[in-house]
Amino acid sequence: MQNKTWFERAIFFSWYCSRGDCKFCYMSTQKNRIKNPKLAKRKIESILAEAIISKACGWKIEFISGGYESYDIDELVFLAKHSSKITKQKQWLNIGALKKQELEKFKPHIEGVCGAVECINPKLHDKLCPSKPISEIIDMFKACDNLKLKKAITIIIGLGETEKDIPLLIDFIKKHKISRITFYALNPHKGTVFKKGPKTDYYVRWISAIREKFPKLYIIAGSWVNRLSEISNLLNAGADSITKFPSIKLFNSKYAKQIELQSAIAGRQFTGSLTKLPDIDWDKEVDQLDLDRELKSRIKTKLKQYLKQMKKY
Ligand code: SF4
């Protein structure tokens, strides 16, 4: 069992998704409001500023993520390249089912690709994600094998699956040689049919069952601000790290402190920090990047905004 743990931040690049009809997803409540995908795009400087802060605070980038068809591939390759340069780590991508030719463009900058499986029960999956068939993810995984890229999946607990579905997940991990998995407890969004998340015990049993079968699998567990007291249980069940926390907005808040405390309760040393800003020259961090002057200046402006937010508590 790990004696360390850490926080993983997913970097989102857009709030638009062309599929937009997964029954639990926030994007499904926004699609009609966001007619123009370009308007839902986050700016490049915001994304790269977030990568700089993550590196400085010792957070790992869980993946670069966003809905289908919001950025074009070349823009995404640019983001993956520069995020990996900033963090000195190849990235994981979670941006929908990609074709082999698309994956080839990302290959120098990524460690692997994440397939958003969400629900392992096939019938339930097809109901919940009518426009996101598992077969597309499996095709992408075949291309990953070809390109020697690693594979990850995301699974949301609390969508109506039961523990009888755990063997399906075990088979899927074995069959597709998955090297990491992110579990989330469903966080019900207003405007969707879901009203509550799963009980902690039930969520924990999924993580324990998978850890028991796969001692070396990299397991990330998501919690949420209203469930932080479960984090020690998620770690004890076998999660390596924690995700799904607004770490910039709530930096050094009582919630951030609770995550560090929960890690200590589980007997893990928390690497990095959600509570102490590193004392570094932030402008210098930007100056050393291989980017044009104009973009660097926009990143500096964005960084100042984020850092101001992080000093709020
Ligand atoms: S494909 Fe992903 S982002 Fe799009 S609606 Fe489904 S879960 Fe949400």
Instruction: State the residue range of the domain holding 107.
Output: 4-310
Ligand 1 pocket, 116 CB below 6 A?
yes
> Residue 91 is inside which H or E element, if any?
strand 91-94
Atom of ligand 1 nearest to the CA of 26: 8
The model's pLDDT over 115-142, given as tens digits with 9 standing for 90+, comes to 999 999 999 999 999 999 999 999 999 9
Cα distance from N-terminal residue to C-terminal residue, the chain: 33
The model's pLDDT over 249-280, given as tens digits with 9 standing for 90+, comes to 999 999 999 999 999 999 999 999 999 999 99
Ligand 1 pocket, 25 CB below 6 A?
yes
Indicate the number of domains in the chain: 1
Residue nearest to atom 6 of ligand 1 (CA): 22
Question: In testing the pocket of ligand 1, which one of 68, 114, 117 has its CB within 8 Å of the most ligand atoms?
Answer: 68
The answer to whether the CB of 113 falls within 8 A of the CB of 142 is no
Q: Look up residue 12 and give its DSSP letter.
A: E
Ligand 1 pocket, 132 CB below 6 A?
yes
pTM of the model: 0.96
Ligand 1 pocket, 117 CB below 6 A?
no
Which stretches of the chain score pLDDT less than 70? 1, 31-35, 37, 39, 67-68, 70
What is the distance between the alpha carbons of residues 107 and 104, in angstroms, rounded to a whole number? Answer: 5
C-alpha dist (Å) from residue 186 to 156, 165, 292: 6, 16, 41
21 Cα–ligand 1 center, Å: 7
Query: Residue 86 maps to which CATH number?
Result: 3.20.20.70
Contacts of residue 3, Cβ cutoff 8 Å, sequence gap at least 6: 267, 268, 269
Say what the pLDDT of residue 115 is: 96
